[in-house]
């Protein structure tokens, strides 16, 4: 039977939390009384996640599908690979660490049924470390100002999308992207609801400060040219001020003679602007680097195998998946 709801979950080294996730996710979806499928995408886990997922596939092959990457391509690539294989009308994304309570999926689905094609969610009380909550608020504000994407709580993955939106997302070949923002671009009738948020059930966050900064650059460069334009504006402003300064200095020299004081003030100003210039070059590099990655057009990710029930075809056995790597034929390649 064709599923109505597809749930996509990226998994990266989550062995400690997966059993608890299964124990809550399946009952929560069974309780909705509608055909569903759950798509786990293993993002190159190096722990036991693959065998745990394979075991779960064996336990519930009717509603479980497992996409296995050959390496780590990042959370957003994993979600995109999951989207490619979804069959449902409503597609829900969720983290594997139980920070997004599976019991909230029902609320998202109910909202979608009201005719919205994008249901975002706002965490009632965010259960993350203080520095992350503060940094994330600041990024939210920056994004609100420089893009036309209106998402209250961008870091939250618990969201539902309509098939039409996902079909458009699947047509994009973006190498560095931010799924909630990309999908928002294609939504005609978006809305948001408030959901609960929990502390990570087990294991630890897969994002370091560095990868968080990278992700936020993906968001900014992927959806806005305002940072580049700001630098052009800054350049115009600075040229204008320097021109005034030149006029003032020439006049002063003519009427009062040469000046040699204020050397350290000059240093301070120079270093400040050197910092600004370096930042500008770096920013430019962020765009150029992404353009380079995009034009190289390498596969965005490689799907090694998909564990799923196929009518008429043999089920791919988990043992094969466990043998990971060389022996398996590479089946699909993301554009
Ligand atoms: N994740 C992934 N690939 C990565 C990093 C994370 O698939 O390279 C998954 C991870 O397994 C989890 C989700 O993305 O399901 C969110 O990761 P995490 O909970 O570590 O992020 P945080 O909640 O700290 O933002
Ligand atoms: Mg988390």
Q: Say whether both 143 and 288 belong to one domain.
A: no
Q: How far is the CA of 200 from the centre of ligand 2 (A)?
A: 6
C-alpha count within 13 angstroms, C-beta hemisphere, residue 255: 6
Confidence check: pLDDT of 302 > 80: yes
Ligand 1 atom 7: the closest Cα is on which residue?
75
Confidence check: pLDDT of 278 > 90: yes
Q: How far is the CA of 14 from the centre of ligand 2 (A)?
A: 10
Share of the chain above pLDDT 90, in %: 82
Give the model's pLDDT for residue 258: 80
Q: How far is the CA of 261 from the centre of ligand 2 (A)?
A: 56
Q: Say whether both 177 and 325 belong to one domain.
A: yes
| Confidence (pTM) | 0.88
The tokens for 38 are: 């759950």
| Domain encompassing residue 69 | 5-224+299-333
Confidence check: pLDDT of 317 > 60: no
Lowest mean pLDDT among 11-20, 37-46, 101-110, 195-204: 195-204
| Nearest atom in ligand 1 to 72's CA | 8
Give Cα separations from 307 to 3, 7, 20, 245, 256 (angstroms): 17, 15, 21, 69, 83
| Nearest atom in ligand 1 to 206's CA | 20
Q: Say whether both 89 and 219 belong to one domain.
A: yes
Place of tokens 């520095």: 131
Q: What does pLDDT average to over the chain?
A: 91
| Nearest atom in ligand 1 to 99's CA | 23
Give the model's pLDDT for residue 335: 60
Q: Say whether both 218 and 235 belong to one domain.
A: no
Q: Say whether both 234 and 291 belong to one domain.
A: yes
Q: Say whether both 188 and 287 belong to one domain.
A: no
Ligand 1 atom 23: the closest Cα is on which residue?
205
Give Cα separations from 18 to 123, 203, 286 (angstroms): 22, 10, 35
Q: Say whether both 196 and 235 belong to one domain.
A: no
Q: Say whether both 61 and 13 belong to one domain.
A: yes
Burial string for 314-323 (b: 16+ CB within 10 Å, else e) reads eebebeebee
Q: Say whether both 48 and 14 belong to one domain.
A: yes
| Cα–Cα distance, 197 to 95 (Å, whole number) | 11
Q: Say whether both 198 and 317 belong to one domain.
A: yes
Q: Say whether both 231 and 218 belong to one domain.
A: no
Give the model's pLDDT for residue 312: 53
Ligand 1 atom 1: the closest Cα is on which residue?
75
| Cα–Cα distance, 91 to 170 (Å, whole number) | 13
Ligand 1 surroundings by CB, under 6 angstroms: 10-12, 14, 43, 72, 74-75, 78, 95-97, 99, 205-207
The tokens for 248 are: 């003032």
> 331: pLDDT confidence band, cut at 50, 70 and 90?
low
Region 198-221: mean pLDDT is: 92
Region 68-76: mean pLDDT is: 96
Give the model's pLDDT for residue 233: 94
Q: How far is the CA of 322 from the centre of ligand 2 (A)?
A: 26
Name the β-bridge partners of 65. 39
| Nearest atom in ligand 1 to 13's CA | 11
| Nearest atom in ligand 1 to 79's CA | 7
Give the model's pLDDT for residue 72: 96
> 97: pLDDT confidence band, cut at 50, 70 and 90?
very high
Region 225-246: mean pLDDT is: 93
Please count the structural domains in the chain.
2
Confidence check: pLDDT of 321 > 50: no
Q: How far is the CA of 204 from the centre of ligand 1 (A)?
A: 9
Q: How far is the CA of 170 from the centre of ligand 1 (A)?
A: 21
Confidence check: pLDDT of 324 > 50: no
| Cα–Cα distance, 41 to 53 (Å, whole number) | 9
Q: Say whether both 314 and 267 belong to one domain.
A: no
- Which ligand neighbours the alpha carbon of 42 most closely? 1
CATH number reported for the structural domain that contains residue 100 in this entry? 3.90.550.10
């Amino acid at each position: 039977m064709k599923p109505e709801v597809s749930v996509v979950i990226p998994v990266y080294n989550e062995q400690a939390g997966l059993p608890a996730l299964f124990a809550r996710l399946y009952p929560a979806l069974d309780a909705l009384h509608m055909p569903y499928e759950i798509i786990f995408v293993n993002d190159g886990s190096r722990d036991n996640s693959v065998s745990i997922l394979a075991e779960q596939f064996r336990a519930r092959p009717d509603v479980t599908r497992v996409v296995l990457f050959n390496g780590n391509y990042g959370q957003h690539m994993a979600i995109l690979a999951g989207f490619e294989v979804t069959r449902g009308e409503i597609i829900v994304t969720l983290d594997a660490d139980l920070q997004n309570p599976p019991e909230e999926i029902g609320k998202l689905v109910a909202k979608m049924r009201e005719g919205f094609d994008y249901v975002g969610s706002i965490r009632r009380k965010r259960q993350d470390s203080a520095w992350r909550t503060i940094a994330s608020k600041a990024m939210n504000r920056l994004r609100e100002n420089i893009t036309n994407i209106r998402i209250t709580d961008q870091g939250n993955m618990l969201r539902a999308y309509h098939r039409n939106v996902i079909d458009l997302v699947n047509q994009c070949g973006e190498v560095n992207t931010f799924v909630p923002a990309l999908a928002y671009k294609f939504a005609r009738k978006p809305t948001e609801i408030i959901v609960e948020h929990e502390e990570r059930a087990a294991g630890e966050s897969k994002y370091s400060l560095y990868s968080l900064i990278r992700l936020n650059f993906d968001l900014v460069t992927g959806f806005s040219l305002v940072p580049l334009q700001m630098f052009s504006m800054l350049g115009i402003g600075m040229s204008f001020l320097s021109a005034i300064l030149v006029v003032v200095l020439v006049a002063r020299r003519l009427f009062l003679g040469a000046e040699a004081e204020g050397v350290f003030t000059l240093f301070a100003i120079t270093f400040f602007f050197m910092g600004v210039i370096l930042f500008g070059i770096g920013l430019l590099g962020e765009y150029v680097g992404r353009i380079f990655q995009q034009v190289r057009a390498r596969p965005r990710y490689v799907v090694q195998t998909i564990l799923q029930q196929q009518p008429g075809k043999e089920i791919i056995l988990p043992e094969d998946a466990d043998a990971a790597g060389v022996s398996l034929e590479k089946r699909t390649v993301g554009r």
